[in-house]
Amino acid sequence: MTSVLYDAPGPKAKVRNRVYTVVGALAVVGLLVFVVLRLAAKGQFAPEMWNIFNNAGVRTNIRNGVLTTLQVFAVAAVLSLVLGVLLAVARLSEHKPVRWLATGFIEVFRAVPLLITIYALWVILLSYKEELGLTGDSPQFWALVVGLTVYNGAVQAEVLRAGINAVPRGQREAAYALGMSKTQVMTTVLMPQAIRAMLPTIISQLVVTLKDTSLGYVITFEELLYTIQQMASTIVVNDENPYVPMIIVAGAIYVVMCLALSALATWIERRGRRSRTGIAVAGVAEPVTASDALEGADGTLGGPVDTRRPPDIPPVGGGGGAGN
Amino acid sequence: MNVLLDYLPEFRNGFLGTVSLTAASAALAILLGLLIAGFRVSPVPPLRAFGTAWVTLLRNTPLTLLFLVAFFVVPQVLFPGTSPFVLATLALGFYTSSFVCEAVRSGINTVPLGQAEAARSIGMTFIQTLRMIILPQATRTVLPPLSSILIALTKNSAIAGAFSNTELFNVSKLLNDQGRPIGWIFLWIALAYLIITFAISGIFRLLERRLEVAR
């Protein structure tokens, strides 16, 4: 598509493009050089500044930060998927009260910024610390985990619901005709296909979960970002705080973790496209919002069964941007 | 109920803070997003590479980390003493621009090939094609994702409250420090966010209806 926007360059255009190439490259490099020079002038690239990473204590702290982040992510991911399945099933329930409760829960927690939820949970957990037997930084841990769980659970529920709705009606009817119970139909016919079709989107949302663990910084939970910030503000090298080295290292760690998870989603999508069974696997979309992700899906569904309708995009109250 | 009435000025300031922060960073994000999307489809390789790097980096970095960059690194590069509002706008705007860029790029991809080909065949340059033919038509498909991106931005702006900006999260912190019940605070803050997000989706629905063309 991109090449359609401009002609195959002739001799004149080739020269012009070459000029633009040089100018563009110079502009990009110039910007980088400016930033690097300014930071170097502040001593942020001095060898001593980077030597702090040879310190065993600094390394241990970073390792602990990464492990804590991954721990929060693992617990929150599992819990949010469980909650997501429960909410999706509840929202499709035949009992009105259950459906309303699930819908209300999903809409409320998707509409409120995650940070506000986490903060409110933290305050509540702190005030009931003794009763719940929480010690040390476990109020922060659980506030973060529960906050991530309710928010991402609500988003995953919408994703799964779209997946379940994408399973052709005939399958459900056939299963009922065989005499299966509602639970059997859900667990053996609908859910497996929905999860398989939506796996790329589910993983994209897990990337969002991973990124959002950094909100623990705000409630002083010692995950990677908070650890980094604490170290950067306490260590002093040449009368300067090593903010730039610390942030570059933390950023690289986050980017690598997120890219690894996204790569998994892409791989599963490609694998799903090759297979010839089941409903089409949704495309990996930007982890902007769950609803967005699904919108992207209908354009990229190159799956084995093109005639089937793409997953419905659930209408979302409050405009429902899930977003980071 | 009392919480809202007793602290009405704080709530109003927080609400206005969130709205202005969202508006400023939305403007920055849309401008930057359009520019980077233009880079990503341009015939100049270094600009394309720059666009790709921009999107990959910003989309895979937690927003909180970008706030750290904005508040601890940017003042060193530019000049110290920049207001927290400007720094928060930079962090939010840059982060959101990567999502806007991807939305615009996929919008560009939905414009029928014939349009670009016809534009080229009457001798339009790349920039003319993009500006006069492709982007106006892409607007229609870009609007729905843009609306959810802006709603996400509204919610993300809460993080700015943790970095000495006056907005709704900041208000909830302040009231909690005053010993007010967190349940009520949460409720009113949630309502305030709902007002903003509903307003955004309403505006976009209006825009979509206006731009609706039978094809």
Whether residue B197 and residue A116 make contact (CB cut-off 8 A), yes or no, is no
* Mutation target vs A (from B18, B44, B90; most A CBs, 10 A cutoff): B44
- Write the DSSP symbol of residue A46: -
Q: Distance between CA atoms of B49 and A25, rounded to whole angstroms?
A: 10
* pLDDT of A72 over the 90 cut: yes
- Compute the nearest-CA separation of B31 from chain A (Å): 18
- Write the DSSP symbol of residue B180: -
- Band (pLDDT 50/70/90 cuts) for residue B77 is confident
- Asked if residue A203 lies in contact with residue A264, where contact means CB atoms within 8 angstroms, the answer is yes
**Chain B window 109-128: which residues touch A at a Cβ cutoff of 8 Å?**
109-110, 113, 116-117, 120, 125-126
What does the pLDDT read at residue A131?
Answer: 79
**Alpha helices of A213-242 — where are they, by DSSP H?**
224-234
Q: Distance between CA atoms of A287 and A205, rounded to whole angstroms?
A: 6
- Put simply, whether B15 touches A (Cβ < 8 Å) is no
Nearest to B95 by CA among B36, B18, B38, B173: B36
Mean of the per-residue pLDDT values for chain B? Answer: 88
Q: Which residues of chain B neighbour A107 with C-beta distances below 8 Å?
A: none
Strand, helix or coil for residue B178: coil
**ipTM over the 0.90 cut-off:** no
What does the pLDDT read at residue A48?
Answer: 80
What does the pLDDT read at residue B203?
Answer: 92
* Rounded mean pLDDT, A80-91: 94
Tell the residue number behind the tokens 């790097």, with chain if given.
B53
In this structure, of A257-266, B16-25, B178-187, the range with the lowest mean pLDDT score is B178-187
In this structure, of A127-136, A260-269, B113-122, the range with the lowest mean pLDDT score is A127-136
CA atoms within 13 A on the CB side of A11: 0
* pLDDT of A292 over the 50 cut: no
User: pLDDT by residue (tens digit) across A177-216?
Assistant: 999 998 999 999 999 888 888 888 898 899 999 999 999 9
List the beta bridge partners of residue A240. Answer: A237
What does the pLDDT read at residue B5?
Answer: 77
**Chain B window 60-79: which residues touch A at a Cβ cutoff of 8 Å?**
60-65, 68-69, 72-73, 76-77
Minimal Cβ distance to B43: which of A17, A113, A213: A17
* Mutation target vs A (from B61, B111, B128, B167; most A CBs, 10 A cutoff): B61
- Put simply, whether B176 touches A (Cβ < 8 Å) is yes
Percent of chain B exceeding pLDDT 90 equals 35
Q: Which residues of chain A neighbour B151 with C-beta distances below 8 Å?
A: 289, 318-321, 323
Nearest to A213 by CA among A266, A134, A263, A143: A143
- Compute the nearest-CA separation of A168 from chain B (Å): 26
Minimal Cβ distance to B155: which of A39, A120, A323: A323
Angle among Cα A222, A225, A228 to the nearest 5 degrees reads 90
* pLDDT of A53 over the 90 cut: no
Whether residue A286 and residue B169 make contact (CB cut-off 8 A), yes or no, is no
Whether residue A225 and residue B182 make contact (CB cut-off 8 A), yes or no, is no
- Put simply, whether B178 touches A (Cβ < 8 Å) is no
* pLDDT of A80 over the 90 cut: yes
Percent of chain A exceeding pLDDT 70 equals 84
Nearest to A144 by CA among A66, A63, A77, A227: A77
- Band (pLDDT 50/70/90 cuts) for residue A145 is very high
- Put simply, whether B153 touches A (Cβ < 8 Å) is yes
**Alpha helices of chain B — where are they, by DSSP H?**
2-6, 8-41, 45-59, 63-68, 74-77, 84-110, 113-121, 126-128, 135-156, 158-161, 168-177, 182-211
The tokens describing A121, both together, are 């949970």
* Mutation target vs A (from B73, B90, B191; most A CBs, 10 A cutoff): B73
Whether residue A207 and residue B60 make contact (CB cut-off 8 A), yes or no, is yes
* pLDDT of B194 over the 50 cut: yes
- Band (pLDDT 50/70/90 cuts) for residue B62 is very high
Tell the residue number behind the tokens 């560009």, with chain if given.
B108
Tell the residue number behind the tokens 């700015």, with chain if given.
B160
The residue type of A246 is: M
Question: Residue A259, Cβ neighbours under 10 Å: how many?
Answer: 14
Nearest to A122 by CA among B17, B151, B157, B185: B185
* Rounded mean pLDDT, B137-163: 90
Closest-CA residue of B relative to A296 is B106
What does the pLDDT read at residue A243?
Answer: 85
Full-model pTM: 0.83
Tell the residue number behind the tokens 């604490």, with chain if given.
A230
- Compute the nearest-CA separation of B197 from chain A (Å): 6
Q: Distance between CA atoms of A23 and A282, rounded to whole angstroms?
A: 40
- Measured in whole angstroms, the distance separating CA A57 from the mean position of its chain's CA atoms is 30
Tell the residue number behind the tokens 């760690």, with chain if given.
A253
Burial class of residue B212 in the structure, from the number of CB atoms within 10 Å of its CB (0-12 exposed, 13-18 middle, 19+ buried): exposed
Higher pLDDT residue, B141 or A79? Answer: A79
The tokens describing A54, both together, are 């040879």
- Compute the nearest-CA separation of B12 from chain A (Å): 17
Residue count of chain A: 324
What does the pLDDT read at residue A290?
Answer: 36
- Rounded-to-10 torsion of CA B100, B103, B105, B110: -150
User: pLDDT by residue (tens digit) across B151-160?
Assistant: 999 999 999 9
